[in-house]
Structure 1
Amino acid sequence: MSKQILKAYKIRLYPTEDQQIFFAKSFGCTRFIWNKMLNDKIEHYRETKTELKNTPAQYKTEFEWLKEVDSLALANVQQNLRSAYSKFFKQGSGFPKFKKKGIKDSYTTNNQKGTVSVTQSSVKLPKIGHIKAKIHRSINGLIKSATISKSPSGKYHVSLLVETMVDDLPKTHSNIGIDLGLTDFITLSDGLKVANPKFLSKLEIKMAKSQKILAKRRLVAKTQQRKLSESRNYQKQRLKVAKVYEKITNARKDFLHKLSFNLIKNHDVIAIEDLNIKGMVKNRKLAKAISDSSWSTFTAMLAYKSEWYGKELVKIDRWYPSSKTCSGCDHVLAKAELPLSVRSWQCPNCLQSNDRDINASINILNQGLRCLKNKTVGATGLA
């Protein structure tokens, strides 16, 4: 069965100097209009206790240079700010923050009657025209919007949101349970264990050295009373640090994408624990290892890919005792009987020998299938 989805394609851009200047203006204008509108909203609320309904258009008379950039980019800022306010008041999310230069520089424009398009070697954008690009795969579907961004390492990318059609993957009649871990990234109910690549740990020494040099060059610039933007040695080292971070991020995303798609392709039902990852990273001893594993990103990938390709993802209640329950007879150990250091144990009831992680993944699968069959509150189907 085919279905219509929204899919993002990220493409590397190679803008000319003039195009880079236009991007810099666009980043600056969208950042300015966000900060200005947010500040005016705050001040208006302090004075009147009511929300200010301001728009980018009303600022163009006073700040004429706003007319130099794509008006749709400014309109999207208004929508994003409105959405942030709505999430704060209705969903309890954090209050919108002011944006800083050089941190997540980006802007979003919409495709109106072909203003955003792709050729074999370029991407066309409003007010700037064709930009040289590296098109590594075909893009099929209707382009809805384009988000242009500049990475800390100085690279430009455009993320195209495309409305396209996808087909369900063939049914395999195979189900799998997944136990997330730190030593092994995942353990599957069929006994397979996938090692944790630990991308951050592998480059931790190189990262520490690069950051130490960067700190020294920052101190030198401060001693000489020079701005960091004018210190060429500092900027060179900043790029080196950014490239190390970028290498870690790219390697991690590549690993997660390939692993998640492989699981979706080969299994019809995937059961996984609904972990409180935000709470877990508050543990200072485990925070770095958990963040490096990117469990949240992996789970999110499984969720949207299962929806795309007609598979079922079931999340098990985080309080379900998957590790302490014997997969052979359902006997549950007391908490004191199975500390984290114990990696294998023998069931006192049926005498079955259990590998802690494999046993947990089998229990997760069984509980997932039960919840899926009974549609109980204990599992949340995200597919």
Structure 2
Amino acid sequence: MIINRAYRYELKPNVRERILMAKHAGCARFAYNWGLARRIALYQTEKKSTNAIAQHRELNKLKQTNFPWMYEVSKCAPQEALRDLDRAFKNFFAGLKAGERVGFPKFKKKGVHDSFRLTGSIRVEDKAVQLPRLGVLRLKEETGIAGRILSATVSREADRWFVSLTCEVEIPEPEQVTGEVIGIDVGLNHFVSISDGTKIEAPKPLGKYLKRLKRLSKKHSRMQKGSNNRKKSALGLARLHRRIRNSRQDFIHKLTTALTKTKSGIVIEDLNVHGMLQNDRLSRHIADVGWGEFRQQLAYKTVWYGSTLIVAPRFYPSSKTCSSCGYVMDSMPLSIREWDCPCCGAHHDRDVNAAVNLKKYAISVA
């Protein structure tokens, strides 16, 4: 079985390499914004559209006269940025046809998700990677890459630079996991409640560092724009956001790997996370736990390790259905955490009962 797998390493660049990578990220951002502005203007004046290939040809003609500084970086950086823009427009129009909410492409800002992608001659050594125009960059750890390298994405997080190498890897067909089928209900009080009664708490890193984050944000807002102190303050905020994100990612990766390697089937609900984030009272808590990332990791790890992911319909009444007799309550507000079935009298924990019903759903559709 052939899959695409990414290997991410932290770079150890010197001052010259940091400047050159910043130029690549700026060039990629400029190409993306230039292409977006051109597409908008073209549609407003001529009601026409274009694509990445045509825009890349147009940009190449303007390089020598209008943008000579673009020759300082690899041609792949603006080219891949225009391809990303083309993909963003395709996703936007596909979402319109399917009736889904996909946002219109937005202009990129300096210092926000600075990154660029390179293709072509990419090589790795024990603790180094060779990239086009950037040369050999040192890594902070040894590489363990297998397969053919397709591309390299270099990104900046606060004051650190990372490279993510996308590789085409051939792995043996995974053997089917022999564990049990489980239902999983995600929540806020507990990150997941499993049909066997197990409840796993979420680290909630944003809630843990919220007081410190507010203090740093307030301090940052009072500093003079353009000053060196404001730049230092922004760096401190970025480092704290990176720590919060890393803590959340580490927890979800460990949990999803453990589940997919030991359970033959995993049943979850098709939650409308985007709609739930519109709730002013719960949006921060929902974003903190990372339900969307949890489902995304389950989707590809079940393929890697030989388990099965089953997604119950969005309006499946898992919470308000009695797992003992099948009676369905008329309503079940979020404030109710435990309830008694009026039909059979069984006492239920809301989350565990929903997980048991999800497990039964998997059996019914098998």
TM-score (structure 1 length as normaliser): 0.89
* Displaced runs of 4 or more, over 3 A: none
How many Å apart are 1:169 and its aligned residue? 5.1
Which position in structure 1 is the counterpart of 2:359? 365
In the comparison of the two structures, how many residue pairs are matched? 354
SS in 1 for 2:317: coil
CA displacement 1:38-76 (0-9 Å, x = unmatched): 222222222222224322322222222212211122221
Which position in structure 2 is the counterpart of 1:331? 327
What one-letter code is carried by the residue in structure 2 that aligns with 1:175? Answer: V
Q: Is 1:296 aligned with 2:292?
A: yes
Which position in structure 2 is the counterpart of 1:10? 8
8 Å contact 1:166–1:309 — kept in the other structure?
Answer: no
Which position in structure 2 is the counterpart of 1:376? none
8 Å contact 1:169–1:265 — kept in the other structure?
Answer: no
Which position in structure 1 is the counterpart of 2:348? 354
Give distance in 2, aligned partners of 1:40 and 1:344: 57
SS in 1 for 2:191: strand
Which position in structure 1 is the counterpart of 2:64? 61
Which position in structure 1 is the counterpart of 2:103? 94
Q: Is 1:206 aligned with 2:204?
A: no
After superposition, residues 173-212 of structure 1 pair within 5 angstroms as 173-212=179-218
8 Å contact 2:12–2:139 — kept in the other structure?
Answer: yes
Change in Cα spacing, 1:314 to 1:60, as seen in structure 2 (3 Å) is same
SS in 1 for 2:109: coil
What one-letter code is carried by the residue in structure 2 that aligns with 1:142? Answer: R
Which position in structure 1 is the counterpart of 2:114? 105
What one-letter code is carried by the residue in structure 1 that aligns with 2:60? Answer: A
What one-letter code is carried by the residue in structure 1 that aligns with 2:215? Answer: K
CA displacement 1:323-354 (0-9 Å, x = unmatched): 1111111111221xx43222222222222221
What one-letter code is carried by the residue in structure 1 that aligns with 2:359? Answer: L
- Structure 2 gap segments, 5+ residues each: 97-101
Q: Which of 250, 271, 281 matches 2:277?
A: 281
Give distance in 1, aligned partners of 2:202 and 2:25: 37
8 Å contact 2:127–2:143 — kept in the other structure?
Answer: no
Q: Which of 234, 237, 242 matches 2:233?
A: 237
Change in Cα spacing, 1:318 to 1:136, as seen in structure 2 (3 Å) is farther
Range with greater deviation from structure 2 (324-333 or 56-65): 56-65
Q: Which of 163, 174, 180 matches 2:168?
A: 163
Give distance in 1, aligned partners of 2:22 and 2:177: 48
Which position in structure 1 is the counterpart of 2:136? 130
C-alpha RMSD of the superposition: 1.5
Give distance in 1, aligned partners of 2:112 and 2:9: 20
SS in 2 for 1:252: helix
How many Å apart are 1:236 and its aligned residue? 1.4
Give distance in 2, aligned partners of 1:175 and 1:295: 20
Identity %: 38
Give distance in 2, aligned partners of 1:240 and 1:362: 45
What one-letter code is carried by the residue in structure 2 that aligns with 1:107? Answer: F
Q: Is 1:144 aligned with 2:147?
A: no
How many Å apart are 1:32 and its aligned residue? 1.4
8 Å contact 2:21–2:134 — kept in the other structure?
Answer: no
Change in Cα spacing, 1:37 to 1:334, as seen in structure 2 (3 Å) is closer
Q: Which of 332, 335, 342 matches 1:341?
A: 335
8 Å contact 2:191–2:289 — kept in the other structure?
Answer: yes
SS in 2 for 1:134: coil
Range with greater deviation from structure 2 (170-179 or 182-191): 170-179
How many Å apart are 1:142 and its aligned residue? 1.0
8 Å contact 1:108–1:146 — kept in the other structure?
Answer: yes
TM-score (structure 2 length as normaliser): 0.93
SS in 2 for 1:54: helix
Q: Is 1:30 aligned with 2:31?
A: no
CA displacement 1:65-116 (0-9 Å, x = unmatched): 2122111222212211221222223333322222211111111011x3xx21
8 Å contact 1:13–1:158 — kept in the other structure?
Answer: yes
CA displacement 1:257-295 (0-9 Å, x = unmatched): 000111101101100010001001111111111010110
